[in-house]
């Protein structure tokens, strides 16, 4: 088992994100998960990501606030404890249209070729 304290979480920069702070909770460390990493993202009002896609799936779980997820022109509003899976190569955009910070857990596989 690898237990990590929240106080030890390190920030990371996510490509094509705006108005956000990401913290890596698990992943990219010896003894950690071998097939995915887990982040905690905080999005300010107006913050978001995309539009873009990745060759791997992602899972979002909203902990606080709300996030609008846009896929193929269809908008889905996620609120506290709602979640979604973004399929590989699925173009998506996420936007915090609320007036509160949106905090969400993000689960992402390691990039191809990564050695855990």
Q: How far is CA 96 from CA 14, 56, 106, in A?
A: 16, 23, 15
Per-residue pLDDT tens over the stretch 9-64: 999 999 999 999 999 999 999 999 999 999 999 999 999 999 999 999 999 999 99
User: Residue 38 corresponds to which tokens in the numbers above?
Assistant: 């887990």
Match 């699925």 to its residue by tokens.
90
pLDDT at residue 99, rounded to an integer: 98
User: Cα separation of 84 and 112, whole Å?
Assistant: 22
Bridge partners (DSSP) listed for residue 23: 11, 40
Whether omega before 51 lies within 30 degrees of 0, making that bond cis, reads yes
Give the SS3 label for residue 6. helix
pLDDT at residue 116, rounded to an integer: 60
Per-residue pLDDT tens over the stretch 59-108: 999 999 999 999 999 999 999 999 999 999 999 999 999 999 999 999 99
Judge whether residue 113 has pLDDT over 80.
no
Domains of the chain: 22-109 (2.60.120.10)
């Amino acid at each position: 088992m690898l237990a990590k304290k929240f106080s030890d979480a390190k920030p990371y920069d996510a490509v094509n994100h705006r108005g956000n702070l990401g913290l890596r909770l698990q992943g990219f460390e010896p003894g950690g998960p071998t097939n995915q990493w887990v982040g905690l993202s905080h999005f300010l009002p107006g913050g978001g990501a995309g539009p873009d896609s990745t060759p791997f799936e992602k899972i979002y779980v909203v902990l606080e606030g709300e996030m609008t997820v846009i896929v193929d022109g269809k908008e889905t509003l996620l609120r506290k404890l709602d979640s979604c899976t973004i399929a590989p190569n699925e173009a998506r955009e996420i936007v915090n249209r609320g007036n509160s910070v949106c905090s969400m857990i993000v689960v992402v596989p390691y990039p191809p070729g990564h050695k855990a």
